[in-house]
Structure 1
Amino acid sequence: MKKYIHLLFLLVAYYGLGQVSYTTEEGASYQFDNNISGHVIRVSDNHGNDVKGSEFLNVEWQQATVIDRNTKKKFKLLARFNAYTKEVEILKEKDIISLTPADGISVELEGKNFVPFKPVDNPKPIFAEELVNGKLSLFRVYDTKVIKAASDSNLLGIDNEDRLTISDNLFIKKEDGTVLEFSSKKKNIEKLFDESTLKFAKKEKLSVKKDEDLIDIIKFYNTKT
């Protein structure tokens, strides 16, 4: 029975039709929506300008592992991350579909672990990179922005193309489910961590302004009872 369900999942992922499709395995639900992604519509008012850059962390398709954390099942798929839509896109023959960020699903892609995340200002879940999971969890949320060319770029003889860049912000999720954007201001850090954690950071010369150090600080905090 399990082999049949596994096969059904793969068939839905690779050969499904255009409509939304579902398959369920031991209570875990997966949904694939058609969402063929092109370049972001340019924002600039400069007539004739094009947008340079990509909304993908890596435009090339890479092998990813989709994991159901509830059943520990794993599936190998070709995928890439779209920072504009904040979705994990999966290659289905010649079509591109998006993986719905359902509870319990995670995606390992290019050394990063993407999990469902609910932004502060939007109840709809997205995929974000999980950096730490524990009493305090740390997430990196990717986004895109368009840097517009100067309106007089042609006259000045400089680059007249808008540029699309990828940005990111860090978010903290507390044990009670509260989500807040991370701030390195001293008063916020003193509210977030207890005294022993702050002493640990000072002793080890760790800076909350460095992602690697912040991860170590949060991991230390999470080991405390």
Structure 2
Amino acid sequence: MSTSAVSERPVGEPVPNWVARPRPAREPMVGHYCRLEPVDVERHGAALYAAFRQTPEDADWTYMFAGPFPDEASYLTHARAMQASEDPQHFAVIDLASGQAVGTLSSMRIDPANGVMEVGNVAYSDLLKRTPAATEAQYLLMCRAFDQLGYRRYEWKCDSLNGPSRAAALRLGFQFEGIFRQAVVYKGRNRDTAWFSIVDGEWPAVREAMTQWLAPHNFDEAGRQRRRLSDLIAAVRPG
């Protein structure tokens, strides 16, 4: 085969001067509404268990690999494993108004060579859901990936049957990429996995929309949003 024939094959766009990106540090992140701290059983364990007990019938653990937890001791065992993990890196979400840990999420499948990471293990208690802090926690991890570390791709994956998680990904600006069929077996059942991502070229528009949504003036005296995040993202996203 001639050299010219080989050179005519389609290839991806060049990525000039690419070098492996740093691994994210296990350091706190602070916003207006919340602070992310590496999970620490002594500092966060009891408060997290108490927060998760607000949800009746342990429904929040249906699509999680872990849980539900029948008692505090079993949750603290889980929290110790989170604390010891290097990947995923688990963070407790601290509500700045109350000072309490009210949920967890993680950076995971961290791939510095290719500049890719995933947000996962998102466990929000009823004290955190549908609050500005819930969105800001996601925003802080995105900022670390793209702005601080220069990663190229940020992923969200979930059980394809998990409607709330899929809706949350789209609201936060992720693009749906498809379904990986029979990707995982967990809790004795099949999981088809829905994949979503944000890539670095899309991040400036998503960041602008999230910054606008999180601004204090976007909420009225009762804490109700004036503009929806999905509308703000649609307004700034090209095309």
Q: How high is the TM-score relative to the length of structure 2?
A: 0.28
> Greater share of helix residues, 1 or 2?
2
Larger Rg: 1
TM-score by length of 1: 0.29
**Larger proportion of strand:** 1
